[in-house]
Structure 1
Amino acid sequence: MKKALVLLGCPEAPSQNPMAVYSVYKLTSLGYQVTVASTPSALKLLEVSDPEEFYVKNKIDIETCLENLEEGSFDLLVGFVHKDAAVSYFVTFYHILNTNSIAVVFEKDPELLENYVESITGSTNATIVSARAYHNPTPIRVKFDRALKKLED
């Protein structure tokens, strides 16, 4: 079975949590065993959003995951990026895993969005899904679905 890792940082952006659950749903439907690595606060939101672990079955603290990460551990990396720290985490995980990767970059400030995209593009060959979004996850979801479709083809 293929394995995917979803990275979640600070849950400040309202779009992140629903997109995290959605991404796990989509990846699972594509045959991936999905693990979510997140900060403790993002983990708490996931636990409240999916209390019976219907979607998010495998969770780990992001720091613990990083300590034990090895190349080849996952077949796909999906990172949610809406802060500088998330850029750093994504780039770090990308270079350790050396696998197919999708950076889901979103921010309400267009200048910050561009900076995050440039930082990731300059440091990785990851597929970039970017949208000017904060409260509404729809623009992110539409672009994420397109990226997954390309990955399947």
Structure 2
Amino acid sequence: MDKYLRAAHKYLNVKKPELAEKILDQAVVRFPRTFELYYLRAKVRHRYLKKETLALQDFSLVLRSRPDQFPKAFWYRGDIYVGYGQYQQAIKDYTACLKRMPTYGKVYFKRAHALFKLGYYREASADLKRCVRYNPVYQDAVTAFRKENHLWL
């Protein structure tokens, strides 16, 4: 299994995500109970290949089986739901991620965006404050978001 992971990472490092996906496809056939393989394949499909439906399937499989082992899978799956306009589901996933990683500022920013889209302005504003508290580097992004959306609560 490690051989497949190394090969997939090697292909990602040389900007060949299609080959990384192919290696991971072979690996999950050979090691179907190794959820790290599904997680990496989902990341490749989501972040590099934009195969969102397939990535969603892999992230969901991983989260049904090992949610505490792969907390970022909630974050990435939330991003896919935002892309589909399914903000309520995205909020659930971002919240699940934050339960496991409560100081991850970027996820607060993403949840604020989804909350805003559904009209939960006070909750969005609170998440923006948390985002900056945990990760001050987001101050400019938060200020721009607030200004653009007239969110000064």
Task: Name whichever structure is richer in helix by fraction.
Answer: 2
Task: Name whichever structure is richer in strand by fraction.
Answer: 1
Q: Same fold (TM over 0.5)?
A: no
What TM-score, normalized by structure 1, do the two folds share? Answer: 0.31
The structure whose RCO (Cα within 8 Å, separation 6+) is larger is 1
